[in-house]
Amino acid sequence: MNIIRILTKSTMKPTCRIFLSHRNSLFFNTNYQSNIDPLRVLGSLRGIHNTHKAFRLPGSGFGQSKVITRPNDGFGSTPSRVVLVLSRVASYSTTVETRVNDKSFERIYVQGGAGVNVKPLVVERIDNDENIIGEEESRIEVNGDGVGGGHANVGNSEGLSESKVAREESQAEKEAWTLLREAVVMYCGTPVGTVAANDPGDKQPLNYDQVFIRDFVPSALTFLLKGEGEIVRNFLLHTLQLQSWEKTVDCYSPGQGLMPASFKVRTVALDENKYEEVLDPDFGESAIGRVAPVDSGLWWIILLRAYGKLTGDYALQERVDVQTGLKMILNLCLTDGFDMFPSLLVTDGSCMIDRRMGIHGHPLEIQALFYSALRCSREMLAVNDGSNNLVRAINNRLSALSFHIREYYWVDMKKINEIYRYKTEEYSMDAINKFNIYPEQIPSWLMDWIPEKGGYMMGNLQPAHMDFRFFTLGNLWSIVSSLGTPKQNTAILNLIEAKWDDIVGHMPLKIGYPAVENEEWRIITGSDPKNTPWSYHNGGSWPTLLWQFTLACIKMGRLELAQKAVALAEKRLPLDRWPEYYDTRTGKFIGKQARLYQTWTIAGFLASKMLLENPEMASLLFWEEDYELLEICVCALSKSGRKKCSRFAAKSQILV
C-alpha cells in the first residue's frame, strides 16, 4: 500500500501524521516526483492576490484569507524543504488545455510529463520551524478539539448566530443528536465525516460503514447549523486530497477531478505494535455495479459554499488547493464531448439512485445538482487571468442549461396536451417537436395523475424519449437553485401538495413516482430484486429527502407543507429506528432491505427541524432568479433571431 505523509502545523495538537493511502503508485518520494501534481504544491505557495471573485455578494468576508501573498509568487522566499520539492517538480512542466465549446478556458500546468492522471500531493511541512509554518496555507489542518473544535470562524458568518433562544428539543431530536454523534468517523483524532449507517443488527454492512460524500451533506448542514464547523472543514479538505488522481477500473483510468463516492478510514499495521490510519477512497471501482459517482463532486462544491455561508470562514474556499480542486471538478463537467445538449450526459446509477433504474442519459437529478454547483462556483471562483475563460464557460452553461430544462423538461396539463398533439418527423431548425417524441409515449398513468394546478420537471429527456416519472430530488433542487422559473417552482410545490398521498403518504418523501412494474421493471431494472415495485429506488420513500423539501418550502414561503411532513417523520422515525427507506405505494412499511439507524435519515430530520426554526439561515442555502443569466440566454437566442436581447426582454420572456 502506498502512503503519503503529511506533517502538520506546529500549533496543532497533537502532532499527528496523516497517512493517505492510495492503490496506485503515488509516493511523495524522490523516485516518484513526476507523479506530483504541483497545482496543489505550487498553489499552496502562490496565494491568490490580484484575484477577486466576480460574483461575491456584499459583506461576504472576502479578504480573510491567510494565504501568503508574496510578490512574484515568492519561490525565493519559500521554506527550504518546500523549495527543494518545487524545484524538482518545476522541471517537468507541461501544459494541458481543456476546452469548452471550442474556447480554451483553462490552462493547467501539470508537472510530470505524462502526468494527466496525477494526483496533487501535499508538500511535507517542517514542524519545528515556526517561521516556515506560521502563516502557511493549503494544508489539511488537524485539530483535536472534537466535532465542533474551532478552526472555522463560526459565528462570524452572514447567518450563524447564537442569538436564537434555545427551544427545548423534543425526545426525537435528542435521540437523533446522540445517534448522529455516534456516527462520527474519526481520523487521526479528528472528525472527518459520518458513516452511512450504524445498524447494530446488520450482519453484512457492505459499504454502509463508509463515509459517503452525498450522505454526509445533511450531517454537515446539521453540524453547521449547530455552529460546529470543524468536521465539515476536515471533510472538505480530506476529500479534496482524495480527489481522483488515478482512479482505475481494471486497466482503465478515467478523468482527473472525480470525487469518490465514499471513503473508509482503515487501520494498517506498520510493524509489530505500530498502526497507522489511512483513508481509502472508492470511486465506484468497488461499488455494486461499478457506478460512477457523478454527483459527488457536485455535492462537494455545494457543501463548500454552504460551509462558507454558514460559518463565515471564506478563507477555506479561497485557498489555492481548494480553488484547484474546484476547477478540476468543473473541468471534468464542462469538457466537450459528442453531446448536443447543455445537460450532463451520464451513465445509469450515477447519483443517489446508484443502481440501474433507467436514468442514464440526462437525468434531472444530475442536471439540478450540476446547475446548483455551477451557481456555487460562480460565487466562489477567484477570478484572474487564468480563470476568466472558465467563468465565461460557467455563465454560458448556466444560461443554456436553465433554458433547456425550463423549456423542454417542464410537464403540466398544457404541455401534455401539446405533446399529445405533436406532429413527428419534423426536419428543420423550426421544428416544434424537436426531440421527435411520439405522442404514444405519454404513459396512461400520467393522463389521470397530472393535476389541473401544478406541474413538474420530467425525469429525463433524450431523442425520441421522455421519461415522465416524477423524481423528487431533482425537482426540489430545481426549486432550491432556481433552475426552474418562479412560476414553475411554485407549481412543483402545488403538485406535491395536490399529490400528497402519492409523494408524501405515510413517510416523506417518495424518491420517484410511480414505480416501474411488470415487464417494464424487468427491462428497466434488469429484474433487480432490490428495486421491486414500490421499494428502494423504485418508488420507495426516503426520509433523507425531507431536508431538501424543507429548504424548498422555506424558499417558496410554504412552511406549512414542510411542517406537516416533518411532523409525520418525527412521529415514526424514532419508533421505526431511523430506517433508510420505506416501501409500498404510500410508504407504510419499513423498507424490505432498509438499514436501520441510517445517518442521513437522522441528519435529514435534524436539519429540517433546524432549518424550520432558522429560516434566515435557510436563505443562505438557496438562490433566487438571476436576471443576468437570463439576459445571457436571451441574447444568445436573439442571435438565432428568436428573441429580443435586453434585460427587460429577459424578464418578460417565458423564462421567468
Q: Which residues bind ligand GLC (CB under 6 A)?
A: 196, 212, 214-215, 352, 354
Instruction: Dig out the grid coordinates for 155 from the structure.
Output: 459565528
Tell me how far, at minimum, the Cβ of 223 lies from ligand GLC, in Å: 18
Distance (Å, whole) CA 59 – CA 158: 8
- What is the smallest separation between the CB atom of 154 and ligand GLC, expressed in angstroms? 27
Query: CA 353, 357, 362: angle at the middle one, nearest 5?
Result: 80
Residue 196 beta carbon to ligand GLC: minimum distance, rounded to whole angstroms: 4
Residues with Cβ < 8 Å from 518, sequence gap 6 or more? none
Backbone angles phi, psi at 288, to 5 degrees: -60, 125
Count of residues making up the chain? 656
CB of 518 to ligand GLC, least distance (A): 23
Closest distance between ligand GLC and the C-beta of residue 89, in Å? 36
> 312 or 604, CB closer to ligand GLC?
604
Residue nearest to ligand GLC (CB): 196
| Beta carbon of residue 299, minimum distance to ligand GLC (angstroms, whole number) | 10
d(CA 141, CA 409): 44
Gap between the Cα atoms of 610 and 224, Å rounded: 10
The DSSP output letter for 183 is T
Placement of cell 450526459 in the chain = 345
Q: Which is nearer to ligand GLC, 215 or 321 (CB)?
A: 215
Instruction: Tell me whether residue 600 or residue 623 sits nearer to ligand GLC (CB atom).
Output: 600
Nearer to ligand GLC, 215 or 412 (CB): 215
When the beta carbons of 158 and 354 are compared against ligand GLC, the nearer one is 354
**How far is Cα 360 from Cα 287, in angstroms, rounded to an integer?**
17
Pick between residue 314 and residue 547 the one whose CB is nearest to ligand GLC.
Answer: 547
* Nearest residue (CB) to ligand GLC, 295 versus 318: 295
Q: Is 584 left (phi over 0), alpha (psi -120 to 50) or beta?
A: left
- Any idea what the Cα angle at residue 175 is, between residues 173 and 176, rounded to 5°? 60
| Helical (H) or strand (E) element with 590 | strand 589-590
Q: Which is nearer to ligand GLC, 212 or 549 (CB)?
A: 212
CB of 468 to ligand GLC, least distance (A): 22
Nearest-approach distance from CB 354 to ligand GLC, in angstroms: 5
Could you tell me which residues come within 8 angstroms of residue 177 by beta carbon, excluding any fewer than 6 positions away? Answer: 169, 606
Specify the 3-state DSSP secondary structure of 108: strand
> Which DSSP state fits 621?
G
Locate 613 and state its grid cell.
Answer: 426554526
